[in-house]
Amino acid sequence: MREIVRLVEEPRACSYLPEQTAALEYRIVQELDADEYERLLERGYRRFGSQLFRPECPNCEQCVSIRVLVQQFELTAGFRRVLRKNKHIRVVRQRPSVTAAHLDLYHRYHRFMSEIRDWRRDRISRAEYVESFVSGGGAFAWQWLYYDGDELVGVALMDETPSAISLVYFFYDPNWRRASPGTYSFLIQLAHARRAGKVHAYPGYWIAANRSMAYKSRFQPFERLVGHPAAGAEPIWELDEPRDAVDAFAPIR
């Protein structure tokens, strides 16, 4: 791995918890291989394109890195219902790419989320999509394409390292929302990880106080990273206590 830039941004208003102040550490890298990337995942980093990042917030630690224990994960009755609802969906796994259908779906999803969750409107060009979701992943980057008939209704970006998967991003057709596509995509990727003998699945940061991020606690068992370990330090992951199934099933679509 060759590091081009490393910096911590100036504190700003948090996108997830408006009452908090946020700051991210950024690392722009080239020639990142799967083993190096796995060590970074173990220390709380996430990836978009050639950019790695993790929270370095001055007065808040509510963004918690978690990882699901893949081989111990079991389907609940609720998860089985989601799979049944989506049994007609055709799933394709391939290397990341961008088409007009990708961009149209991305923009419809973000327009919808700006209406129901007050997200900031986000329109990106083909080049910006490539920079965020296609480049930088090397041999470990994949995409899952979900089709209802011949129509593209969902795209999930996923990284795969020797012993783990990392769920990078997911967007979907708003008309698919009632069938819980976010949960469905997570289950599809967990099933792949289990078949491939992976140990961990990294879904990103869990924020209990944010509706868009709190859902991750329903995928049990999972571990929580303690603090923000340095590159040379051994990361400490602690098993999270089992959570009440009703509380864990806050709406996710």
Query: For residue 107, what is the domain's CATH number?
Result: 3.40.630.30
At residue 248, does pLDDT exceed 50? Answer: no
Q: How many structural domains comprise the chain?
A: 1
pTM for the predicted model, two decimal places:
0.92
Residue 117 contacts residue 140 (beta carbons within 8 Å): no
| Within a domain: 253 | no
Give the CA-trace dihedral at 245, 166, 95, 39, to 10 degrees. Answer: -160
Q: Give the highest mean pLDDT range of 9-18, 55-64, 152-161.
A: 152-161
User: Which SS3 state, helix, strand or coil, does residue 251 take?
Assistant: coil
**CB neighbour burial string for 98-121, b if at least 16 within 10 angstroms, e if fewer:** beeebbebbeebbebbeeeeeeee
| Within a domain: 132 | yes
| Within a domain: 84 | yes
Residue 251: pLDDT band with limits 50, 70, 90: very low
| Within a domain: 112 | yes
C-alpha–C-alpha distance, residues 94 and 71, integer Å: 24
Average pLDDT on 202-227 reads 92
Average pLDDT on 35-42 reads 97
Average confidence score pLDDT of the chain = 92
**Closest alpha carbon to 91 in 216, 189, 231, 193:** 189
Find the helix or strand (DSSP H, E) in which 143 lies: strand 141-148
Q: How many CB atoms are closer than 10 A to CB 65?
A: 25
Enclosing domain of residue 222: 2-248
